[in-house]
Structure 1
Amino acid sequence: MAGQVPDFHATVRTGTGKGAARQARREGNVPGIIYGGDLDPLPINIPFNVLLKKLKDGRFLSTLLNMKVEGHDDVRVICRNVQRDVVKDLPTHVDFLRLKRTSRINLFIPVEFVNEESAPGVKKGGVVVHVRPEVELDVVAGDIPEKIVVDLSGREIGDVIHISDVELPKGARTTVERDFVIANISAPSGLRASEDEEEETPETEVIGEEKETEAAEE
């Protein structure tokens, strides 16, 4: 995997059911469960403030974590669901899925555009339109890429970059078969307006000539 898998700490939750979950929340925790991996589900508690910060940081549901629970072996997990209070929109329960290093999962990977300023189209005033700031990929849990790199070197105004133009990280593949657009270089608004006027002008002139011809024939 590109980069180190971050640790995530939790404690064992004693008891299950609504009563134990309410008690966890009163103590400033968010109840959760770790499931999958041919092992029994493990009820856990996570400090509310820790989880809330992770959620605000973003990409929590697409980050592989090294779950550390006292008395249990470390395990790779990924968050599969965060239940929230319908009124306050705060987390009330979290589900984690155990993963093997060889497991394949679908994750949204961010796209990074490089050499944007040196692209000929940008130097001429073109604007890079980021159609997809992230792309869903099928990746191996033990080798999740940090990003997809799109090189804009040599790109001109009007160029369209498809997913097939991008070299995907090793072991990764797209989750859809169609060749979707990642970005394009659009003409500046002034140039687009000028082109529109040029396209309209010949049509106006032709109409005028037709009227003059009709008048002459009469």
Structure 2
Amino acid sequence: MVQTIRIEAEARELAGKGAARATRKQGMVPAVIYGAKEEAILIALDPRDVMKEMHKGGWQSHLYEVAVKGGSTTRTLMRDVQFHPLKDTPLHVDFQRLAPGQLIRVKVPVVFTGEDTNTGVKEGGVVNAVYRELEVMTDPDKVPDNFTIDLGDHPIGHSFHWSDVKDQAGAKPVLAGDFVMASIAPPKVVEEEVIVAPVVTAAPAKGKAAKGKK
């Protein structure tokens, strides 16, 4: 399931660049919650909470319950984080509000099993993964931890498609059709460079050359 993270926020009243600068001077990061045909909510975040999520990685695939102090809790996706070009500190965060029944667009890791017993790999083949993660549209409550493909007993040259995923969990890929996700590629052959030494012809001795002239 997709990870849901609670993040605390404070309400802010004024919009605009001046108000955003004032929020930063107070040691907070200005942010906004928008979407689902509702009025935008202006908020301020602790920069440590923002950086904590950045360091985790995968923040675009997490659900965030933004709890506004003295207000409501909103289920969101973190869509964009703007950083200072020199200090690398967060300047602004955009959250997209989720409407009931709304599908979300997330990236799900792709995992391959059976590599140790696969015939093609034993013969020297290499698993060539076209996708290590796949972008899909899915129910936020049904996002799988990963998509698993079993390599089985397939030989070198075999390709694996979206239809080979064990449990698709109702997700719909952004890509159309039964596209290739991986293949068992043949081993790389390293050609040895053959160095050919130049042929050196010895010059005739001076004495022999002189006799020849006579």
Band of TM-score, shorter chain: 0.7 to 0.9
Residue of structure 2 equivalent to 1:31: 30
Residue of structure 2 equivalent to 1:138: 137
Q: Does structure 1 retain, via aligned residues, the 8 Å contact 2:33–2:40?
A: yes
Residue of structure 2 equivalent to 1:173: 172
The SS at the match of 1:121 is: helix
Aligned-partner Cα distance in 1 for 2:119–2:100: 42
Q: By how many angstroms is 1:89 displaced? A: 4.4
Identify if the C-alpha distance between structure 1 residues 177 and 168 changes in structure 2 by more than 3 Å, giving closer, same or farther. Answer: farther
Q: Does structure 1 retain, via aligned residues, the 8 Å contact 2:104–2:137?
A: yes
Q: By how many angstroms is 1:4 displaced? A: 5.1
Residue of structure 2 equivalent to 1:46: 45
Aligned-partner Cα distance in 2 for 1:101–1:110: 25
Q: Does structure 2 retain, via aligned residues, the 8 Å contact 1:6–1:64?
A: yes
Identify if the C-alpha distance between structure 1 residues 19 and 101 changes in structure 2 by more than 3 Å, giving closer, same or farther. Answer: same
The two structures, once aligned, show a CA RMSD in angstroms of: 2.2
Aligned-partner Cα distance in 2 for 1:155–1:133: 20
Identify if the C-alpha distance between structure 1 residues 36 and 3 changes in structure 2 by more than 3 Å, giving closer, same or farther. Answer: closer
1:171-216 CA distance string (max 9 Å, x none)? 21112213322111122224x86xxxxxxxxxxxxxxxxxxxxxxx
Higher mean alpha-carbon deviation, 4-13 vs 59-68, is at 4-13
Alignment of 1:198-217 (within 5 A): none
**Percent identity between the aligned chains?**
36
1:95 and 2:94 matched: yes
Alignment of 1:41-80 (within 5 A): 41-80=40-79
1:4-50 CA distance string (max 9 Å, x none)? 52212222124322222112222332110011233321111111122
TM-score, normalised to structure 1, is 0.78
Aligned-partner Cα distance in 2 for 1:138–1:72: 30
Residue of structure 2 equivalent to 1:209: none
Q: By how many angstroms is 1:109 displaced? A: 1.3
The SS at the match of 2:141 is: helix
Larger radius of gyration: 2
Structure 1 spans left out of the alignment, 5+ residues: 194-218
Aligned-partner Cα distance in 1 for 2:4–2:123: 42
Residue of structure 1 equivalent to 2:115: 116
Q: Does structure 2 retain, via aligned residues, the 8 Å contact 1:100–1:142?
A: no
Q: By how many angstroms is 1:3 displaced? A: 5.4
Structure 2 spans left out of the alignment, 5+ residues: 192-214
Residue of structure 2 equivalent to 1:11: 10
